[in-house]
Amino acid sequence: MKSFLEKHLNYSVFFIILFVLISIKIINPSFVKSVSYLSFDLYQKLFSKKKDSEVIIIDIDEQSLGKFGQFPWNRTVFAKILEQVNASNPKVVGFDIFFTEKDKQSPDEIIKSYNLITTDAINLQKLKGPDQIFSEKLNETKSVIAVLGSSVPSHSNYDRKAKARFLSKGGDPKKFTYSYPYSIGSLETIEQSAKGLGSISFLDQLDGIIRSLPLIVKFNNKIYPTMGLEMVRVGSKQKNIYVELNEVGIKRISARPYKIDSDPNGIIWIKYKKSDKRQYISAQDVYDGKFQSDFFKDKYVLIGASAQGLFDLVKTPLGITIPGVEVHANVIENILDQSYLIRNPNTYVFELLFSIIIALLTFIFSQKIKPKYSLSVFFGNLLFIIIIGFSIYKFRSELVDISYPIFILTITFLTGLYFRFIEENKLALANLQKEAKLLKERELAAGVQKSLFPDISKFENFIFAKNVPARDVSGDYFDVVRSTPEEYFFTLADVSGKGVKAGMYMAKASSIFRTLTNLKFPLEKVVFGVNNELVEAKFKGMFVTAVFGKLNIKTGELVFINAGHESILTFDKSKNYEYIKSDMPPIGIVKYFTESMVKSNTINLKDKTFVVYTDGVTEGYLKNGEELGAEGVQNIINSIENINPKNIVLGIEKELNWGAEKLRDDITCMAINIENTELIKKTK
């Protein structure tokens, strides 16, 4: 088990992180809710727009305060406003304000304020007070008065009850609604005159933004509808509100003909439209009758305050602050056109499963594909989440949280990237160690190979050769073996391929060559033996192009064999150049059955120079980027004043080994001239 976890540490850590993230989502603490709200608010900011409304707001604005003075106003002002509105026959009028105390200008309050004797105030008591006038107008109007949930009792409270009658199916809605022990409202006489009582209670939000509200709430163990729902009920001339429940809680709330799907606690999420000033009319203008006669016809009319001093302003998901009365206006519009937003348990389960699947796919891909492609997977999944969320919102009006899945996706991707980074580092370190080992082996092989090259410094007056490897290990080779005081065997070879394998193949060839030449076999027999031994060595696909020779420095006779190698260059003192092409295939390919298969040539080197080189010479690059070529070799020789083997070879090397970072190929060259056959004695 331990070894399994160590082997799959990345997946173990991933599942632990995913489990923690999903658990946090299920617990749904306040900071997770705040993350979810980011996407909910973004939907509304992007898709909200202005639209025509059936709701009119009579605005207690700064202009109205200037006309009627400090709030609260005399109730006769509201009575006059109701009278003006009723003339247009609205569907319903709702008050987003309270009338908790008697009007200060009522007869009773005046008698009390001025300590008048009852006999002196008989005529005053006969006058109709503002509260009575206002109550009478309310009674004539399809009106709704506000109530508010409270955790403390109010001294002016009475045993109020809702105007709406609640009918439930499938359970008791009181078990699932938000509850307050007390309520705050208006005077009993005013509330009794109204046709409906509507809650204006909002749910507390950490950031103060009103995103949702309960359609029904419980005050003092009695159910009340929210202001918007109550206005729809009264405007539709309905007495009842129907509540359907299931095993989870509240499923649907209806005020015929409108049905609203809610969450189990009776909450709906408000879909806000952009504020439209045309929806507002100043209370002063209504009082003065400055509006068209049909302005309020069949409209839902709300009376509320936008004046700064009345402190009835709230924040919305659109990122703006609006009067609280406009929230209720949006609720009414949502109910009427069924545009409210849905956030139900099924959506929540979908988010969890969706997050798990996306996280799992992202992590697996991050471990399986190259890091540069995993970034595409991340952004692809990110785009997929956004498209899913926006599509569901646009076409189904459902709120799908994309913020937390994006958060999970990001954490998952970074986790996968971290483990991939660790894995890549391990691989890179292993490769570095492997390369260091190979480098050490190549350096060792290069050292061994250099030891195979003969020390021919004492022959350099008449034979000189040099090898410059393009890599650590060369595939080229040369050798000179003195068999008698007058006779010398030599070879210059080029093994197919490069690197250590080519070096090993070359070492095999050189050892065979030295063994056979030391036995003083004829040149044809030496080549016969080298070829057949290489064929038997079974270096798959490898072969050798080579020039073999046997030189007699006394007679000048040179017997040579060109086995598939570059043309041999010879020239006389007048620098007449001649090229001798190969007339045999490379060795190491086909087994020779008789020595007669080996064809040799003979020339005399008196007054001639013999030059042989690998293709790394003719195909080597000059400083100008061009290849040297056979003509280039001639040009180098032509530029040399003192023609001897050493000057020829070093001249060619200097022209090609000019400082390029890497040679195109190994440079190997040998020159023979028997004009001076004196051996060079080594000095100690």
Q: Mean pLDDT across the chain, nearest whole number?
A: 88
Cα distances (angstroms) measured from residue 44 to each of 193, 211, 331, 397, 526 = 39, 10, 15, 10, 92
Global pTM value: 0.66
Q: Render pLDDT for 233-274 as a digit per residue (tens, 0 to 9).
A: 999 999 999 999 999 999 999 999 999 999 999 999 999 999
pLDDT number for residue 510: 86
Question: What tokens appear for 281 in the block?
Answer: 């009319």
| Residue in 399, 349, 323 with CA at minimum distance from that of residue 96 | 323
Q: Render pLDDT for 322-344 as a digit per residue (tens, 0 to 9).
A: 999 999 999 999 999 999 998 87
Cα distances (angstroms) measured from residue 557 to each of 3, 486, 553, 604, 648 = 74, 11, 7, 5, 21
pLDDT at 505 over 90: no
Q: Render pLDDT for 187-239 as a digit per residue (tens, 0 to 9).
A: 999 999 999 999 999 887 778 899 999 999 999 999 999 999 999 999 999 99
pLDDT number for residue 126: 58
Mean pLDDT of 45-73: 91
Strands 216-219 and 182-184: unpaired
Sheet of 463-468: strands edge to edge?
463-468, 667-672, 608-613, 568-572, 577-580
Contact (Cβ atoms closer than 8 angstroms) between residue 244 and residue 170: yes
Beta bridge mates, 481: 489
Whole-number Å distance between alpha carbons of 395 and 402:
16
Instruction: Give the SS3 label for residue 248.
Output: coil
Domain segments of the chain: what residues?
2-28+348-427, 49-159+179-231+275-337, 453-672
30 pLDDT tier (thresholds 50, 70, 90): confident
Mean pLDDT of 407-425: 86
Cα distances (angstroms) measured from residue 59 to each of 64, 191, 324 = 8, 21, 11
pLDDT at 54 over 90: yes
Q: What percent of the chain has pLDDT over 90?
A: 61
Q: Max CA-CA distance within the chain?
A: 166
Question: What tokens appear for 6 in the block?
Answer: 């160590």
Cα distances (angstroms) measured from residue 353 to each of 33, 379, 506 = 18, 20, 65
Type and span of the H or E element at 551: strand 544-552
pLDDT number for residue 305: 93
Cα 144 to the chain's mean position, in Å? 52
pLDDT at 43 over 90: yes
pLDDT at 681 over 70: yes
pLDDT at 112 over 80: no
**Which CATH superfamily includes the segment(s) 453-672?**
PPM-type phosphatase domain (3.60.40.10)
Question: What is the rounded (10 degree) CA torsion for 11, 12, 13, 19?
Answer: 100
Q: Render pLDDT for 572-606 as a digit per residue (tens, 0 to 9).
A: 999 999 999 998 999 988 999 999 899 999 999 99
Question: What tokens appear for 191 in the block?
Answer: 């509330």
Mean pLDDT of 642-656: 92
